[in-house]
Amino acid sequence: MTDQPNIILINCDDLGYGDLGCYGSQINQTPYLDQMAAEGIRFTDFYMASPVCSPSRGAMLTGCYPPRIGFAEFDGKWVLFPGDALGLNPDENTIASLLKKKEYATKIVGKWHCGDQKEFLPTRHGFDSYYGIPYSNDMGIQSEKDTYPPLPLLLDEKVIQAQPDQASVTERYVEESVRFMRANREQPFFLYFAHMYVHLPIYPPDRFMRESKNGRYGAAVQAIDWSVGVLLYELKQLGLDQNTLVIFTSDNGSRARGEGGSNSPLRGHKGTTWEGGQRVPCLMRWPSQIPAGTTCHEMVTAMDLCPTLAKLGGSEMPKDRIIDGKDISALMRNEEGETSPNDTFFYYRLHNLMAVRSGKWKLHAYSFSPSDRQIVAINQLYDLEADIGETNNVYDQHPEIVDELETKLDICRQDLGDQITGVEGQNLRSVGRVDNPQTLTHYDPDHPYIMAMYDLKDRG
């Protein structure tokens, strides 16, 4: 029964720690996700490797910290943009490429954001097929001053629509996912469903907008919840429910500007290395293996998914390179006495090593000051078990803990580098790079775009 489970990995965009009912939201309606939590395991200390999307996605797919794979920054930019020459190096191993070696059918639906040149597309990284928008949904035409080309919707490596109606995109993603599941019901499959929501601009379907108690944001969260409900229903209809592992998470924390999202009770937001930037919801459901209604307080990361899913599928991680993620399959099953294989977690902002967590302790050595746009030394220590909101600095009370964590930071600097202290990492691999990159679309004034210009001007 457990030989090669089907795997569905659902990754949201900018969904915050406090945005689901099962994580404390009183305003967003998430009945299907709350049910998923009741039937599986809920992680309270699950981290993405970056507070922004391209590096966090590359890290999750490969099991490596962003600097390790050349994804700390992109020629000075936080994330990848249309027509960039950079992307995930084809030499890297992804979850999909490792599972594909074991005869899995593999598909990605939704946001890729690891490079839009052909050499970097999902179909070059182990996915049999791709249907989705390859980067953020605000990287289309939203104003007459935009330098972005029309927003592309891809099927495999070809653009099949430009400037789609974003209110219909999630429903189309669900349809494509159901089609894939039905077509591959007789073999193990890996579906990576990477939502467009709740990244700005938010165009929700009318039904969810009418029902929302939290404006556009709440409507988008409800659309995410609905989509999960459809996938879980389909698994039962196909007789695949018992032996399918479904994972639900988000690429980073919610945004700062009060658009309806919540990282409560955490401090900070997307783009920061406070907990609210990188600690995100994570639910896992696998009825034959994961005990219902369990909660895990151990520290785990999205980088752990690659080695874990590879093992579950019968594959092995490459031995010729450093992989930062660890196998958490025993933890996932809530086996008695099992603790996290992760001793430490390092918080990077671009190439800057900002903080470290070990056990319950988090040392925030540096922070970014928005007022003067500088990284500043702050020397703050937090007991995350007693103070999840990082409000009580106990740096002066625990010099021995500070010393231990400073040592860990020094070791990490030698390994992965740190721009703040000028240390070059010793174990870094190269980002992918091509000559003469081109955007996937070009504006054509004669084309009958259904949305020639998106009317919401919000940027994510």
Q: Spot the catalytic one: 53, 114, 296, 412.
A: 53
Instruction: Give the whole-angstrom CA distance, residue 347 versus residue 352.
Output: 9
Q: What are phi and psi of 153, to 5 degrees?
A: -110, 120
Residue 448: which residues within 8 A CB-CB, separation 6 or more? none
Is there a catalytic annotation at residue 113?
A: yes
Q: What is the DSSP string of 136-201?
A: -TTSS--STT--SPPPEEEETTEEEEES--HHHHHHHHHHHHHHHHHHTTTS-EEEEEE--TTSSS
Q: Is-contact 222 30, C-beta < 8 A?
A: yes
C-alpha to C-alpha distance for 126 and 160, rounded to whole angstroms: 21
194: left (phi over 0), alpha (psi -120 to 50) or beta: beta
Instruction: Please enumerate, as own/partner, the contacts of 306-311 that have beta carbons within 8 Å and a separation of 24 or more.
Output: 306/60, 306/61, 306/62, 306/63, 306/93, 306/94, 306/95, 306/98, 307/63, 308/332, 309/7, 309/9, 309/95, 309/98, 309/99, 309/190, 309/245, 310/95, 310/98, 310/99
Given a contact cutoff of 8 angstroms between Cβ atoms, the answer to whether 194 and 132 are in contact is yes
Residue pair 458/259 in contact (Cβ under 8 Å)? The answer is yes
How far is Cα 4 from Cα 312, in angstroms, rounded to an integer? 6
CA separation for the pair 24, 34 (Å, rounded): 10
Q: How far is Cα 300 from Cα 331, in angstroms, rounded to an integer?
A: 9
Q: Which residue among 12, 64, 113, 125 is the active-site one?
A: 113
B/e letters for 107-146, b = 16+ CB within 10 Å, e = fewer, are bbbbbbbbbbbeebbbbbbbbbbbbbbbbbbbbbbbeeee
Per DSSP, the residues of 62-100 read HTS-GGGGT-S-BTTBSS--TT-SEE--TTS--HHHHHH
Asked if the bond preceding 31 is cis, omega within 30° of 0, the reply is no
- The answer to whether residue 64 is catalytic is no
Hey, which residues are catalytic here? 53, 113
